[in-house]
Amino acid sequence: MNDLTDNEKRDLVNREVTLAYPKMLQDEKRITSYNYKYFSDLLSFCLEQFLTKKTLDYQYKVAVVDKALLNYMGKSMALNLKSKSSPYWNQVRKASYNFRGVYEAEYENSTYKTVNFDLEELDDNFDLPIHQSDPVECISHAVENLDFYHKAIMLDYYFNNMTYNEMNKKYNITLISLKKAVDQGKQLIKEQCQHFHL
């Protein structure tokens, strides 16, 4: 199989993407949850990153040799959606938080009746940073601000859904030390997100 040409490898990768696409769409809806209407381009973004930023040999290994495309894309979508240092966050999601919309009632010559907004009735959380108004964003923000050791472990624990045994193999750290590190990480996150009563 190593004597395949680049075109043959590309064809095999494309075939795997085509076969996995319906399941990847389901995963995208599950990962974005009730925000799917805002982030329905997550899959196409992650797929584009995989097909354009990764080498053909890497694509071939993940999609054809390891048959791990679904797992790779699921983790990629989850990480891109939740991490504030991800390309998706910086190119797409960040802008959606800065956009408040313009409604027809705000136009000078609108035929709609102008609404008198009472500032006292606005939501108290309206101008809060997103990590202070959403528990998942708070956890994500807290993990991003952890020290290197706890950050790596908590990213795998929360966002990659790794078990203690999987992390033990990855980091070569004893299970007791891992459990202690996860407990410490949870405590640090709870301190930063205590207003959500996690």
Rounded percentage of the chain residues whose pLDDT exceeds 70? 77
Q: Given a cut of 90, is residue 88 above it in pLDDT? A: no
Cα gap 61→167, rounded to integer Å: 22
Q: What local confidence, expressed as pLDDT, does residue 132 receive?
A: 66
Query: pLDDT, tens digit, for every residue of 176-198?
Result: 999 999 999 999 988 888 877 65
DSSP 102: -
Query: pLDDT, tens digit, for every residue of 133-159?
Result: 667 778 888 888 888 889 899 888 888
Tell me: domain 131-198, CATH 3.40.630.30, correct? Answer: no
Cα gap 114→57, rounded to integer Å: 59
Q: Residue ranges of the domains in the chain?
A: 6-97, 131-198
Q: How many residues does the chain have?
A: 198
**pTM exceeding the 0.85 threshold for the entire prediction:** no
End-to-end Cα separation, the chain, in angstroms = 51
